[in-house]
Amino acid sequence: MTADITTDVLVIGTGPAGSATAALLARYGVEVLVVNRYRWLANTPRAHITNQRTMEVLRDLGPEVEAEAMLHATHQELMGNNVFCESLAGEELGRMQSWGTSPESKARHLRASPCEMNDLPQTFMEPILFKTACASGAQSRMSTEYLSHVQDADGVTTTCRDRLTGKDVVIRSKYLVGADGGNSLVAEHLGLPFEGKMGVGGSMNILFRADLSRYVAHRPSVLYWVMQPGADVGGIGMGLVRMVRPWNEWLIVWGYDINQPAPTVDAAMATQVARQLVGVPDLEIELISANTWTVNNCFATHMQKGRAFIMGDAAHRHPPSNGLGSNTSIQDAFNLAWKLAAVIKGHATLKLLDSYSAERAPIARQIVTRANQSIAEFGPIFEALGMDGGVDHEKIQRNMAARCDATPAAEAQRAALRKAIEFKKYEFDCHGVEMNQRYASSAVVSDGQTPPAPNADMELYYQATTYPGARLPHAWVYDRHGGRHSTLDLTGHGQFTLLTGIGGEAWIAAAEAATKTLGLPIRCVKIGPRCDYEDHVGDWAQAREIGDAGCILVRPDHHVAWRAAGPSASSEADLTRVLKQILGH
Ligand SMILES: Cc1cc2nc3c(=O)[nH]c(=O)nc-3n(C[C@H](O)[C@H](O)[C@H](O)COP(=O)(O)OP(=O)(O)OC[C@H]3O[C@@H](n4cnc5c(N)ncnc54)[C@H](O)[C@@H]3O)c2cc1C
C-alpha cells in the first residue's frame, strides 16, 4: 500500500491523552501527526478536577501553558466545600473540606508541588493542549477517522477515512499511539488483554446554564452531592450537581438502572431532574446538552504491541470518581513521549519502549480500582442516614430526620454520618493516589537501597523520596538573582538531568563523557552555596536523600532513574552502565 502521508508518530485522538502526546512530541522535536474523527475537540466539559501532577506536565510544556490553564481554571480556593445535601435549596447534611483546601491538606499540597490543583473543564484543557501541539510543530487532521492498521518490522501502515471526502488516507509511521478513548478501536485491533467489566452502571449528564449563586456562593465547591431516595440507583451512587463555571454553568450527573434501556434525556426530563436536585420546583434552566454514559470498571494489563501503544481511556475505563481520568491520560503521555523521542532520535533502542507498559499498566489497574471503590464508599453515608434499601420515601425521611433527636441513638447516628463523610477523603482529598506514582522497569536502575517505609497511608498522603522510580521531590531553590525555581523546573523539558552538589564534579564529568559516548544530551545542575542554584531554606537537602557529592539522575518525565549516595571511584563507568541499561543498549 502506498502511503499518502508519512510521519514518525501517528496519534489517534485529540482528547487529553492524544493532544498531550502530540504537544510533548512536538516540543521534543519529533514529527507527529494527530487525527480526530470529529471536526473539533471536546464538546462537553467532562473532566475538570486537574491535579498537581498534571499541572506539572503543563508547566513542563512551558510556563505559558500552565499560565493559560490557570487563567481559565476555577482556582483551588473555590473548590473545597464538598457539600452533601437533600437538594441545593434544601437541608445540608454534612460537608467535607476537599481537594487540598483544609489547612492540613493545603500545607501538604504546597510542600508537594510548585503547581496548584484546580478545576479546568475539558472544553478548556483540550484546546490548550491541542494548540500547544500545533504551535509546536505537530500536524493535525480533523474529520479523519481511524479504520485499521498493520505493522511490519519497520513501522505501521494505518488506514483512516477522510470524513469530508469519504476517501481513505493511508498513513505510514514508525509508531502508532491509540489515544482513542473508552471505546478504543486501536486497543481492539491490537487484541490487548483487559481485566474487569464495561457497563456496570448507567449515568446521564445534563449540562445547563442557571444562576445558582444564592444556593452555593456561601459554600463554594465543585461538587454538591444530593442525597434523595432513589439516588443510589446506577451512575456514581448519588445525584451530583457539578459546577462547570461559578456559579452559572452546571453539569448534573444522575443515574439510571443499567439493566433498563438508557433513557432519552429530552428538555422536559432534564428540567425535571434539575428542579429535583436543585430543589426549586419552578427553576428555569437553559439546557445546553444531555447524554447518557456508562460506568466502567476495566483496564488493560498490557498497553503495547510492537510499535503500537494505547493510552488514556483506551487503556483505563472507570467512573469520574477521584477525577483521575484525564489526569492519568496526560500522565501516560508524559511517560511515553520522551521514550518515543529517545528511540526516534537514535539515543535509545526499541527496548526502552517496553518500559511504558511495565510502568503505566500498574497505574491503570490502581486508578480503575480506586475510582470504582470510591463509588462503593458512599454506602456508609446512605447507611448512616438510614437511606439504604428500599424506596419508601416516608420511611427514609423519618430515618434521616431521626439524627436530629436528643437520644443516644441519634447521637450515634450523627457520629456515624460524620465518620462516613470523613471517609470520603479517599475520593475528594486523595493526594497520595495523585502524587505517589512510582515505577519499576528496565528504565529505572536500583541503587541497592531498600525503598522508604510506606507512610501512614500511601493513598491519602504523598511521600517525597528520591528512591529510583519515584517522581523527583519538589523543593524551591534559588538562582543568583534571587529567582525561585522548583527542582522540577531544573529537570524535564525532554532531557535527562543530573543533579549534584559540592564535591559532585566527577559526576558532572561522567555525564559529559556519557553524552559524548551515547549521544544523549544530559543537563547537569549543581545545587549548593555559590553553585548554579542555592538551597537557602534547606528543603532540597532534606528531600534529596543523598550526600552533597552524590547524584540523582532524573528522566525527562521527572522520575528518578538512578541515584548515588556519594562520590564514586568509578563514576564514569557507573553512570554509563546505568544509562545503557535505561536506554536499552
Ligand atoms: C462526567 C465526567 C466527569 C469527569 N471528570 C473528570 C475529572 O474531574 N478529572 C479527570 O481527570 N477525568 C474526568 N473524567 C474522565 C475524562 O473525561 C476522561 O478520562 C478523558 O477524556 C480521557 O481522555 P482520552 O484522551 O483518553 O480520551 P477521550 O477524551 O475520550 O478522547 C478520545 C479521542 O479519540 C477520538 N477518536 C475516537 N475514536 C476515533 C477514531 N476511530 N478515529 C479517530 N479519532 C477517534 C475522539 O474523537 C477523541 O478526540 C470525567 C468523565 C466524565 C464522563
| 6 beta partners | 172
Instruction: Report the nearest-CA residue for atom 21 of ligand 1.
Output: 326
DSSP, res 191: T
Ligand 1 and 47: CB distance under 6 A: yes
Residue to probe by mutation, ligand 1, list 180, 244, 291, 332, most atoms within 8 Å of CB: 180
Grid coordinates given for 265? 434525556
- Three-state SS for 558-578 is CEEEEEECCCCCCHHHHHHHH
Residues 6+ positions from 382 with CB-CB distance below 8 Å: 227, 232, 388
Q: Are strands 156-162 and 144-151 parallel, antiparallel or unpaired?
A: antiparallel
Q: Which of 392, 521, 542 is nearest to 29 (CA)?
A: 521
Which atom number of ligand 1 is nearest to the Cα of residue 184? 38
Residue to probe by mutation, ligand 1, list 82, 119, 142, 313, most atoms within 8 Å of CB: 313
What is the reported pLDDT for 1?
82
Instruction: Report the nearest-CA residue for atom 5 of ligand 1.
Output: 47
- Whole-number Å distance, alpha carbon 390 to ligand 1 midpoint, is 35
Compute the mean pLDDT over every residue in the chain, rounded to the nearest whole number: 96
Residue to probe by mutation, ligand 1, list 329, 332, 336, most atoms within 8 Å of CB: 329
Ligand 1 and 277: CB distance under 6 A: no
What is the reported pLDDT for 237?
60
Which tens digits make up the pLDDT trace of 251-273?
999 988 888 999 999 999 999 99
pLDDT of 552 > 80? The answer is yes
Ligand 1 and 16: CB distance under 6 A: yes
Grid coordinates given for 394? 416516608
Continuous H helices in 320-453: 325-344, 351-376, 379-385, 393-401, 408-423, 425-428, 431-435
pLDDT of 236 > 90? The answer is no
CATH 3.50.50.60-classified regions of the chain: 5-73+118-192+300-373
Q: How many CB atoms lie within 10 A of CB 1?
A: 10
Q: Which of 33, 362, 4 is nearest to 179 (CA)?
A: 33
The crossing angle, in degrees rounded to 10, of helices 122-135 and 16-27 is: 30
pLDDT of 233 > 90? The answer is no
- Whole-number Å distance, alpha carbon 313 to ligand 1 midpoint, is 6
Which atom number of ligand 1 is nearest to the Cα of residue 16? 25
Instruction: Report the nearest-CA residue for atom 13 of ligand 1.
Output: 47
Kindly write down the DSSP assignment for every residue of 231-297, as one continuous string: TTSSTTSSEEEEEEETTTEEEEEEEE-TTSPPPP--HHHHHHHHHHHHT-TT---EEEEEEEEEEEE
Which atom number of ligand 1 is nearest to the Cα of residue 122? 17
CATH classification code of 5-73+118-192+300-373: 3.50.50.60
- Whole-number Å distance, alpha carbon 118 to ligand 1 midpoint, is 18
Grid coordinates given for 61? 510544556
DSSP, res 62: -
pLDDT of 234 > 80? The answer is no
Grid coordinates given for 486? 522548583
Exposure string (b/e) for 76-97, b if CB count within 10 Å is 16 or more?
bebbbbbbbbbbbebeebbebb
Which tens digits make up the pLDDT trace of 463-511?
999 999 999 999 999 999 999 999 999 999 999 999 999 999 999 999 9
Ligand 1 and 332: CB distance under 6 A: no
Which atom number of ligand 1 is nearest to the Cα of residue 119? 8
What is d(CA 583, CA 560) in angstroms, rounded to the nearest whole number?
14
Owner of C-alpha cell 492498521: 149
Q: Which of 227, 225, 293 is nearest to 263 (CA)?
A: 293
pLDDT of 231 > 80? The answer is no
With a pLDDT cut of 90, the percent of the chain lying above it is: 94
Residues 6+ positions from 402 with CB-CB distance below 8 Å: 386, 409, 410, 413
Which tens digits make up the pLDDT trace of 374-429?
999 999 999 999 987 677 888 888 999 999 999 999 999 999 999 999 999 999 99
What is d(CA 256, CA 239) in angstroms, rounded to the nearest whole number?
11
Which tens digits make up the pLDDT trace of 361-371?
999 999 999 99
Which tens digits make up the pLDDT trace of 326-349?
999 999 999 999 999 999 999 999
Mean pLDDT value across residues 193-222:
96
What is the reported pLDDT for 387?
87
Ligand 1 and 19: CB distance under 6 A: no
Ligand 1 and 326: CB distance under 6 A: yes
3-state SS assignment for residue 457: coil
- Whole-number Å distance, alpha carbon 15 to ligand 1 midpoint, is 5
What is the reported pLDDT for 229?
72
What is the reported pLDDT for 384?
96
- Whole-number Å distance, alpha carbon 552 to ligand 1 midpoint, is 35
Kindly write down the DSSP assignment for every residue of 280-348, as one continuous string: -TT---EEEEEEEEEEEEEEES--EETTEEE-GGGTEE--SGGG-HHHHHHHHHHHHHHHHHHHHTTSS
Residues 6+ positions from 314 with CB-CB distance below 8 Å: 13, 17, 178, 179, 180, 181, 182, 184, 186, 187, 300
Which atom number of ligand 1 is nearest to the Cα of residue 186? 41
Counting beta carbons within 10 angstroms of the beta carbon of residue 286, is it exposed (0 to 12), middle (13 to 18) or buried (19 or more)? exposed
Ligand 1 and 40: CB distance under 6 A: no
Mean pLDDT value across residues 104-110:
98
What is d(CA 60, CA 54) in angstroms, rounded to the nearest whole number?
10
CATH 3.40.30.120-classified regions of the chain: 438-583
Mean pLDDT value across residues 544-558:
98
With a pLDDT cut of 70, the percent of the chain lying above it is: 98
Ligand 1 and 434: CB distance under 6 A: no
Owner of C-alpha cell 551515547: 518
What is the reported pLDDT for 510?
98
Q: What's the N-to-C CA distance of the chain in angstroms?
A: 33
| 533 beta partners | 527
Domain 438-583 has CATH 3.40.30.120: yes
Q: Which of 546, 543, 534 is nearest to 504 (CA)?
A: 546
Q: How many CB atoms lie within 10 A of CB 213?
A: 11
User: Residues in the chain, how many?
Assistant: 585
Ligand 1 and 357: CB distance under 6 A: no
Ligand 1 and 12: CB distance under 6 A: yes
Ligand 1 and 54: CB distance under 6 A: no
Residue to probe by mutation, ligand 1, list 34, 37, 54, 120, most atoms within 8 Å of CB: 37
Residue to probe by mutation, ligand 1, list 37, 46, 55, most atoms within 8 Å of CB: 46
What is the reported pLDDT for 340?
98
